Amino acid sequence: MHKILIFGAPGVGKGTQSQLLSEKLNLYHLSTGEVLREAISEGTELGIKAKKIVESGHLVSDDLMIGIVHDALKNRMNSKDGFILDGFPRTIDQAKALDGILKELGLEDLKILHLVANDDEIIKRLMLRGRTDDNAETIKLRLNLYLDSTKPILEYYKPYRKIIEVNGIGEIEEVFGKILSKLQ
């Protein structure tokens, strides 16, 4: 069973690579950003709460996100051969809560797949992507949030989790090939 956390700056290609991996390895792809975007477009209670925060590039509250991930991992894995977490955790508190969730559900031995890229490349990619939360101001904010709140999670996990580093820059298929070979 594969238990993977895909990690990296906004725009590094986590969504694309997670999608490919989930198809290839029959994994449940849990993208917290997608969950929020769907809720926003459907106008659910969660969507109404999250809309302004997501559009401004800020982080949705830890409590809300932890609840979403707990329920999704508990109830939605169905007949899959594992899962890939994409966009969660984004803070140390989320990372600690995830440890508790995985323990509760008997899903330990999470592997971290770190897609590496430099800031210039990230900004270029985000500007090209053109999502409604991708403008110069929110890009800067999200990159800073990544550096200040999210990236330190790597240091937190380092003593007890396997961290696999893959260069995220290159053709989609080329990056995907490297990921598959390193996961073997």
User: Interface with ligand AMP by CB under 6 A: which residues?
Assistant: 10, 32-33, 36, 53-54, 57-60, 65, 87-88, 90, 94, 133, 142
Residue 139 CB, shortest distance to ligand AMP, in Å, is: 10
Residue 151 CB, shortest distance to ligand AMP, in Å, is: 14
Residue with smaller CB distance to ligand AMP, 16 or 164 = 16
Tokens read off for 3: 């238990």
Residue 7 CB, shortest distance to ligand AMP, in Å, is: 11
Residue 134 CB, shortest distance to ligand AMP, in Å, is: 9
Helices and strands in the chain: count of H runs, count of E runs = 9, 5
Residue with smaller CB distance to ligand AMP, 10 or 166 = 10
Nearest C-alpha neighbor of 124 from the set 2, 5, 3, 12: 12
Task: Write out the DSSP string of 102-157.
Answer: HHHTT---PEEEEEE--HHHHHHHHHHH--TT-SHHHHHHHHHHIIIIITHHHHHH
Instruction: Produce one character per residue of 145-178: b if its CB has 16 or more CB atoms within 10 Å, e if not.
Output: bbeebbeebbeebeeebeeeebebbeeeeebbeb
Residue nearest ligand AMP, Cβ-based: 33
Residue with smaller CB distance to ligand AMP, 29 or 142 = 142
Residue with smaller CB distance to ligand AMP, 129 or 177 = 129
Residue 35 CB, shortest distance to ligand AMP, in Å, is: 8
Residue with smaller CB distance to ligand AMP, 93 or 165 = 93
